[in-house]
Amino acid sequence: MTDAHGPAAAHEPAGTPDLADVVRAARAEGRGLKVVGAGKWSGEGTPAARVRDGADQVTLRRLSGIVAYVPGDLTLTARAGTTLAELDDATRAHGQWCPLCPWGTDDGTIGATFATATTGPFGAALGRPRDLALGIEFVDGEGAVARGGGRVVKNVAGFDLVRLMVGAFGTLGIITEVTVRLRAIPAADVTVLIVPAGGGVRGASPPAGAKWPPAAGSSSIERDAAVADALIAAEVAPSGCAVLDQHDARLLGVPAGAVVARYMGSTALVRAGVAEAGRLGTVTETDGRFWTSYRARDPHPRMLRGSPLSISVARRLKGRFDPGSVLNPGILGEDAE
Amino acid sequence: MDQLARALSGIVGPQHVITRAAELLVYENDGLPGYRLRPRFVVAPGNRAEAIAVVRALAAANAPFVARGAGTGLSAGSLADGIVMIGLHRMRQIYSIDPVGRTATVEPGVVNARLSKAAAPYGLHYAPDPSSQTACSIGGNVAENAGGPHCLKYGVTLNHVLHATVVLPDGELIELAAPRDDEIGYDLLGAFVGSEGCFGVAVDVTVRLTPNPARVCTMLADFPALDGAAKAVSAIIAAGIVPAALELVDAGTIAAVEASIYAAGYPTDVEACLLVEVDGPAAGLDDDTAAVQRICRENGARAVRTATDSSDRERLWQGRKKAFGAMGRVAPHLVVQDAVVPRTRLAPVLRRIGEIAERHRVRVCNVFHAGDGNLHPNIPCDGNDADEMARVHAACREIMEVCIGEGGTITGEHGVGLDKQPYMDMLFSPESLDAMCRLRDAFDPARRANPGKVVPVRYCREWNASPSARKAVGAAP
């Protein structure tokens, strides 16, 4: 479909100034822009699919590459179009990694991860995008280029443009560069399958402080959820935990009724964590690549509960950062009424 | 009594509206010497309803205001220049503690350490622990996005605030919640935390409580050379150890502490000590402890002492946490500075700071969150000696320039307030500063909340374009 301005065009700016030109032109001509990283989170049913027909597409894939990386500081600055796989390659060479690991695949981009604030199975333990973003550069809806935060791990200089942009789905600005916090790859990294003690869960001795055993008559998935809660409440908690329904278990090659947990840290810590898990059922070590397929498998849809723009502050933000509704128009449900 | 003060005393009671000059004296300063401004008057609401009514009355009168917690700030951010000050110190109620969900909902005037004390029976505590924690308030912590030694492992205030009920400067009441993983919306709570009182007044705050670690091990490493201490900091972090705290105390600070009632048994014949704390489950803690000791020795530590019991531990921490108080022996005033550099640049930056101090004939005592690269170069001085203060300010400016030059920032946890405004345009472009102004304007279009702080007004495009708006507010220096 096209709108009154003619067919939608596609832009692939090679740098921030080019992107700013594209935005300024769109603003002047009253056109919308659909912002795309690698296009990994823009399929049917995703928020990106709501972008108004006729909007031009801006792809950030040429805006890629690592800008700064000092391994000793455990921080890295990359352009928005850099893929998570590229990030992984660069950091692994120095015994480090970026714990973002969002739902989806590693050919997704760092810009999209932060713009959508997509978390993953390790978000609660190792940090969500809002916790891991240190600095940001963006182009607003009038083509102005601004920066917030910086390249250091602690920073309260000025109002927080970083938290403003993370999760805004590109509707207040197009993220062009991000500085992220990294971690050292731990000495031990073990993924285990826990099959709750068959029929005899009550006999299993739980970690201190856990809600255990599960209520009598629980379904298999309720029992697994109780296992996951008990693992997380244990003294040595896993970095991530997956409870699967039968369908997903089959798809991912996990025995029915098993809970998957990942323990990371020093060798002694991981050994203790696995031992605690062993008190809830039978534990077997499994391939850590499970998490890659688990992340890729899970669509984790994002809901639009009411209109975000019904909040006065949000409405005024949109008016001040994108007064022409150039950036991802429709994504916030503006057209729903 | 001025008419507005009379109207507000109808809300909070006349005894809670302070108008007499002698009583206003304590509201003229915060914790940073060199700034003194008198508010028009102070109004102190006693609960949520009164606080909301006060802000609405100020909105109706189109009166600018400054909200203030305990007044322990270090950036002159909570000073009011002839405008109304809202004192939140009476709002000290802890509404609820949920030991299962590990959260607490409190009024903004609740003192940081008191919340941890209230959570202690459940084996929980509130993790952000600024050195002023026995006096500073949760509301002030939220306004400044406060840090503290244990933020290295546990995160700053932002990472611990789950919800805030905020009365916007125009009187609208809004609920700000941490964003959900499965929902779309702006992170307004994230933007609010650290907004230095410019976005509105939080009338209640829900925070995360953290389980007390099963085991804690605190170590003190003595370094004959400051350089070695700085290098050990980077090496510990690079080894993948995340200490609960990693603090550096230099010779000047040690001398002041050891001569005071807070003496902690720090050696007085070294250039620096590192205070390293590792905590967590018992498993693996011995490995971390051994690794820290090894890395310290490899970087020139003469000795590494381990606290054997909790009183020994508290004593080691006392030297760090009471260092600012101990400086009172050295000079009548203490300029507490705050800046951040990339961790790997600590050694050269500390050297440069030493050179700057020498050149300006001031004494710089460093005591800081080394693991975060968060420097606190403190300068004991006599605030009444104009010549000395001029040299102190010149040294501060040069220190900030060095930190910015090394890829750092001008404040890690104290905020910009008034004190750091002169450096904002060294760090951010006019476009970035304008974007910050627009963010503020979304919360406070009339710019009545803490006017003239954080971002210099000259960088706010829209504001400058509209002199009538400025006149209507009648504030903003």
Do β-strands B65-68 and B84-87 pair in parallel, antiparallel, or remain unpaired?
parallel
CA distances from B188 to A178, A229, A319, B69, B139 (A): 20, 30, 15, 21, 16
Cβ atoms of B186 and A172 within 8 Å: the answer is: yes
Work out the percent of chain A whose per-residue pLDDT is above 70: 92
Name which of A72, A311, A331 is nearest B234 (Cβ-Cβ).
Answer: A72
CA distances from A94 to A57, B231, B359, B388 (A): 36, 18, 40, 47
Name which of A147, A157, A183 is nearest B416 (Cβ-Cβ).
Answer: A157
- The pLDDT tens digits of the residues spanning A87-136 come to 999 999 999 999 999 999 999 999 999 999 999 999 999 999 999 999 99
CA distances from A282 to A207, A227, A287, B15 (A): 15, 12, 16, 67
- The pLDDT tens digits of the residues spanning A212-228 come to 667 777 777 788 888 88
H or E element, residue A20: helix A16-29
Work out the percent of chain A whose per-residue pLDDT is above 90: 72
Per the rule left: phi > 0, alpha: psi between -120 and 50, beta: everything else, B269 is alpha
Cβ within 8 Å, pair B435-A146:
yes
Per the rule left: phi > 0, alpha: psi between -120 and 50, beta: everything else, B174 is beta
The whole-angstrom separation of Cα B75 and Cα B415 is 6
A interface test, pick of B212, B439, B441, B460 with most A CB neighbours within 10 Å: B439
Residues ≥6 apart with Cβ < 8 Å to A51: A32, A34, A328, A329, A330, A331
The predicted model gives A54-61 an average pLDDT of 94
The alpha carbon of B120 is separated from its chain's Cα centroid by a whole number of angstroms, namely 23
Nearest CA in chain A to B166: A313
Note the pLDDT of residue A209: 55
Closest CA to A189 of A56, A65, A286: A286
pLDDT, averaged across chain A = 90
First vs last C-alpha separation in chain B: 25
Strands (E), B251-405: 272-280, 303-306, 333-336, 339-340, 365-368, 374-375, 377-381
Note the pLDDT of residue A298: 65
Closest CA to B107 of B32, B158, B164, B31: B164
A184 inside 8 A of chain B by CB: yes
The whole-angstrom separation of Cα A320 and Cα A316 is 6
Residues of B in contact with A274 (CB under 8 A): none
The full length of chain A comes to 337
Residues of B in contact with A168 (CB under 8 A): 186-187
Do β-strands B41-43 and B84-87 pair in parallel, antiparallel, or remain unpaired?
parallel
B212 inside 8 A of chain A by CB: no
Cβ within 8 Å, pair A154-B240:
no
The whole-angstrom separation of Cα A138 and Cα B12 is 45
Structure ipTM: 0.95
Name which of B174, B424, B432 is nearest A311 (Cβ-Cβ).
Answer: B174
Partners of residue B94 on adjacent β-strands: B106
Residues of A in contact with B179 (CB under 8 A): 117, 130, 167
Cβ within 8 Å, pair A160-B185:
no
Name the architecture of domain B3-87: 2-Layer Sandwich (3.30)
Determine the number of helices (DSSP H) and then strands (DSSP E) in chain B: 18, 20
Position A151: which residue type?
A: R
Burial of A229 (0-12, 13-18, 19+ CB in 10 A): middle
Check: CATH 3.30.465.10 for B94-211? Answer: yes
Note the pLDDT of residue A245: 87
Q: Does B471 or A188 have the greater pLDDT score? A: A188
Residues ≥6 apart with Cβ < 8 Å to A61: A12, A37, A38, A81, A109
Q: What is the DSSP code (8-state) at residue A118? A: -
A interface test, pick of B184, B192, B420 with most A CB neighbours within 10 Å: B184
Note the pLDDT of residue B472: 42
CA angle A88, B408, B126 (to 5 degrees): 80
B195 inside 8 A of chain A by CB: yes
The predicted model gives A305-327 an average pLDDT of 94
At residue A2 the predicted structure's pLDDT band, cuts being 50, 70 and 90, is: very low
Cβ atoms of B191 and A311 within 8 Å: the answer is: no
For chain B, domain boundaries: 3-87, 94-211, 215-325, 331-405, 421-474
Name which of A152, A169, A172 is nearest B341 (Cβ-Cβ).
Answer: A152
Q: Cβ of B237: how many Cβ atoms within 10 Å?
A: 25
A62 inside 8 A of chain B by CB: no
Name which of A147, A167, A265 is nearest B284 (Cβ-Cβ).
Answer: A265
Cβ within 8 Å, pair B431-A144:
yes
What predicted TM-score, i.e. pTM, was given to this entire model? 0.95
CA distances from B175 to B90, B126, B167, B189 (A): 22, 22, 9, 9
Distance from CA of B20 to the nearest CA of A (A): 34
Closest CA to B435 of A148, A170, A154: A148
Cβ within 8 Å, pair B238-A146:
no
B440 inside 8 A of chain A by CB: yes
Q: Got the DSSP string for B253-269?
A: HHHHHHTSTT-----SS
What's the CATH number for B215-325?
3.30.70.2190
Q: Cβ of A89: how many Cβ atoms within 10 Å?
A: 12
Note the pLDDT of residue A45: 78
Cβ within 8 Å, pair B415-A156:
yes
Cβ within 8 Å, pair B190-A163:
yes
Q: Does A13 or B462 have the greater pLDDT score? A: A13
Residues of A in contact with B439 (CB under 8 A): 159-161, 164, 317, 320
Tell whether the model's pLDDT for residue A5 goes beyond 60: no
Burial of B67 (0-12, 13-18, 19+ CB in 10 A): buried
Cβ within 8 Å, pair B432-A148:
yes
Helix segments in B145-284, DSSP class H = 151-154, 188-192, 226-238, 251-258
List, run by run, the mean pLDDT of 10-residue segments along chain B (477 residues): 92 97 96 94 98 98 98 97 98 97 97 98 97 96 96 96 98 96 94 98 98 95 96 93 96 95 94 96 92 97 93 93 89 94 96 97 96 96 94 96 97 97 96 98 97 92 53 39
CA angle A323, A328, A334 (to 5 degrees): 75
Size of interface A-B (CB pairs under 8 A): 228
Distance from CA of A23 to the nearest CA of B (A): 16
The whole-angstrom separation of Cα B427 and Cα B212 is 38
Name the architecture of domain B331-405: 2-Layer Sandwich (3.30)
The whole-angstrom separation of Cα A279 and Cα A196 is 9
Cβ within 8 Å, pair A272-B281:
yes
Name which of B238, B424, B432 is nearest A147 (Cβ-Cβ).
Answer: B432
Note the pLDDT of residue A193: 95
Nearest CA in chain A to B231: A72
- For B31, the 3-state DSSP assignment is coil
Cβ atoms of B367 and B249 within 8 Å: the answer is: yes
A321 inside 8 A of chain B by CB: yes
The whole-angstrom separation of Cα A313 and Cα B168 is 9
- Residue where the block lists tokens 């109207």: B7
B window 61-120, beta carbon within 8 A of A: none
The whole-angstrom separation of Cα A196 and Cα B459 is 61
A146 inside 8 A of chain B by CB: yes
Identical fold, B215-325 and B331-405: yes
H or E element, residue B311: helix B310-321
Burial of B269 (0-12, 13-18, 19+ CB in 10 A): exposed
